[in-house]
Structure formats: structure tokens, C-alpha cells
Amino acid sequence: MGDRSGVGLVECAILEALESLGARPGRHRRSATVLDAVQERIGLAPGYAYEVLLDLARPWQMPVLLVDGQGNFGTRGNDPAANYRYTEAGLSRAGELVLAAERGDLPPVPVGLINGNVYREGLRPPFRPLAVIEALRELIRRPRVTGKDLTSIVGPPCFLNGCIVTGDFAAMAAGRPTILRLQARVTVSDDHHHVVIEDFPPNANPDEVMTTLAGRASMRAWAAEHPGLYGRTHLPLAELRDESSSRQGDLLVCVPSPGATVEQLREQLMDVYGVYTTVRVDLPRPLPTMLRNWVRAHPAEGLLTGLVTLEEAVRNQPDRN
């Protein structure tokens, strides 16, 4: 990965290809042309590189977006991205910063530390960008700040789409393998007539979740023969509506069956896989050590300038909904 950004080699190759084609912020180039340039640089076939290119532009995949996509880049559901012949891409402001940092034109920016790599089934989770930036600033101000304080500033992994993350954060921060549970937000409506599911985990497919919920709500022929299993898997669901929109994001509305309360339905929905998912994480070193190593590797004055520039780029990212 890049020494001055922490961004992976394939990701950097894609950013370099975009830059070589003049695909700067606000200027897009055909994805097919970009992928041809990537193949020339590192020999990676377009079909493989396109998946990474899509990740770099998808707001549910990583906190700091490095590519600005134009066209159908797909959804978390069953709507796949259009073929690379029909989409366009350009560098985001953060993508520009990564390349400038790697060349030495700008101070280092800890984008790889923030984004992690679980979006491609890696083991490093993402963190809140502004929290990582603040932790590094604190470390520069107070080199003897404790690891506990640094971990507290960074906080738990954050996927920035609103899903709830739980797990043994202390073990994760200490560099031990950990399983995180990612939970969609499942809430009872103000009028107590239905349950709302939103902010799905980034590795969940809302369309498949809807199919699963509908299947578990329907009557099964074997219900009388296996009442125990039926009782554990059946959902008291009278109506299921997909009210997703570009403004609200993925959103499912669940109306309980007669005789069931919204609270009962909510509790059962939270145990359906897809409404929750899991992800394994394993930092290469304890989190405080990773932060200290980043500061040791780069002059403090330049690093502070890079953090300011990155913070501005993060704050100016488009709304993720």
C-alpha cells in the first residue's frame, strides 16, 4: 500500500489512471478507458479492476470516497452496476489528495487507516474520519497520550451508513481477532402501528432481506408437524412494504399480524440474518500502535497540514443518502 496514504496498490493504480486521463473532480472519463489504463499499468484485467473502482465510489462502502462515479454504479440490492462501457468516473477531492500525498506534493493523509479494507473482505474495519484525524492531532500535541485515550477518541468501527456496530472493541483495539455484529436500525413507528427497518449493514442485501422476511411470514405446510421450528422461524408479519427512495435510502415497513405487538415483531426481526450481519476484523497491530507509527513516520508539521486538508475534503463529501 502507499506509504503516504495507506491506500492499497490496486486502488492507487486506479487513481493514477484517472489522473493520467485528466479525470479530475468534475471531469469524468469512460470507465472502460480508465480500466484499459489500469491494465497497462499493473496488468489487472478490467473485470477485476472495475469491482474496486465501483467500491471507491459507493457511499455505503467506505467513509472517504476516492472516486466520483457517474451513471449506474449499482445498489446494495439486486440492481447491479451497469457494464463499465456505460459508466464514467473521475477523481474525488480526497482521491486527488491521496495521489498528491503519494507523490510528495502534499503532506501525508491517513486515508487507508480510515477506510480499512473490509469492503473487499479484508480484516481492517473503517473508522470515523474526523475521529481518526482528531486522535492523530492529539498524539502530535501530546506524544505521551495513553493508548486508552487514543482508542477512546477514535471510537468503535464506523460504517457511516447508520448501522449499529457492536462487539468486543477492546479486543479489536488490542489487535486481537474479533467478530463485529452490524445491525440495521429497527424501530417502532411513533404511532406504534408498524416497524421500520433502515440503515442496513453495508454487507447486507435489502432486496434479499425482503424476500427472506416474506418467506418467513408465509404459512408453511410443515407447520403442524414441526410446531417448535415453526414457532422459532415464523414472523408475525401481516404486511411488508418497500418504501426505499433516493432521499431516505433503503427502508422496509413491517406491519404485525393481528394479535402480535409491534414490540414482539421488532424483537424477532432483529434476529433475522440480513437485518444483522457479522464481519471478522483483525488489525495488523494494536490501534494505538498504528496511530503512533503513522505519526513517527511523518514530520508533525506536515502531517498537521495534511490532516487539515483531508478534514476539509471529508466535510465537503456529498450527502450519503
Question: Hey, where are the domains in the chain?
Answer: 185-274
Contacting residues for 68 by C-beta, under 8 A, at least 6 apart: 25, 26, 28, 57, 89, 90, 91, 92, 95
**Residue 321 clears pLDDT 50, i.e. is over it:** no
Mean pLDDT, all residues of the chain: 92
Pick from 115-124, 207-216, 312-321: least confident: 312-321
Tracing cell 443518502 back to the chain, one arrives at 321
pTM confidence score: 0.91
User: Which of 56 and 222 is assigned the larger pLDDT?
Assistant: 56
Q: Which fold has domain 185-274?
A: Gyrase A; domain 2 (3.30.1360)
Phi, psi of 183 (to 5 degrees): -120, 130
Q: What percent of the chain has pLDDT over 90?
A: 80
SS3 60: coil
pLDDT tens figures, 209-236: 999 999 888 866 555 565 665 556 789 9
- Residue 274 burial (CB count, 10 A): 20
- Residue 109 burial (CB count, 10 A): 30
3-state class percentages of the chain: helix first, strand second, coil last, to nearest 5: 45, 15, 40
